Structure 1
């Protein structure tokens, strides 16, 4: 097995299957780490990654890189894009790797299955073999990371004056002079029953 196959298998094991998103995510993670001079086979304590979608690609990036939300090295930005930014915390160097959608052609008529949907097996095979420069766009970027976003123990804690919950890392909101959590200030995604 080559390095890609080993890393793709990590993505498969983490996600539960290999699909086009796992292939692209694996390729994105490999490219981002290569650009930073990091090895996916080693723990990279200085690596932080921002993923821009909450789909299969993000699982592959997490599996290949070893970054996690719990270690505060995986950040999620809800942009709906097959892209991730890789940041070396020790040097500040960062690269954004995205799927070069404008370079890819839609599936040809023969590449669809009986349900008139793209043939996933053929897509996985094709995405695994396409040259990196045709599949990915790699750009050097600058990431401004605040002191309350870096890994490590919380530097600031407070409590919401409405619900009493503890709020870490400067995620509180001040409304009319009151310290509130975002759920109380902006509305929550859940309702208590």
Structure 2
């Protein structure tokens, strides 16, 4: 019998920077009240999953989203530590791409951001390129996730919009782009779970658990 692994992946809930259309990068902003509600709603969507392990990025917007979603799921209390806190593995490999000098600036109206050559292998000023981001996602995918997925485990990963697009690249769903990954991030909803299914470590398919509504980018 093939071993069926499952990966549930979603972006963090809304932050104030999302509302303002600011580039966030590594700036460690908190969830808004709406973002916390989105995280809890995601938890309701994933209550049919019993996870062997949960991951988030080291940024608090992702970690808080994972915590709230697991709590709301009602089916994953086995992931709690003896003190009642959640055992969520935090990884710097799945933090958002470093937006460098563009952090806290409006991605839709800032003339320097709009004029910048947004290509896959071009780093933002004092920041990171999409290629650099995908390289570290690949390391996380290969070292942390694939061994467990090959064993048939069910995993949760809560991260960021750039990481969501990057996962499609490392899983072979989307080709490596000539243009940037960043321009596609506005189509990634907040806290909308996507399921990736595997058999014996081979990717089979991916799909959203529910059709998400409109979200801030």
TM-score by length of structure 2 reads 0.27
Give me the TM-score of the superposition, normalised by structure 1. 0.29
- Which structure dedicates a bigger proportion of its chain to helix? 2
Max radius of gyration: which structure?
1
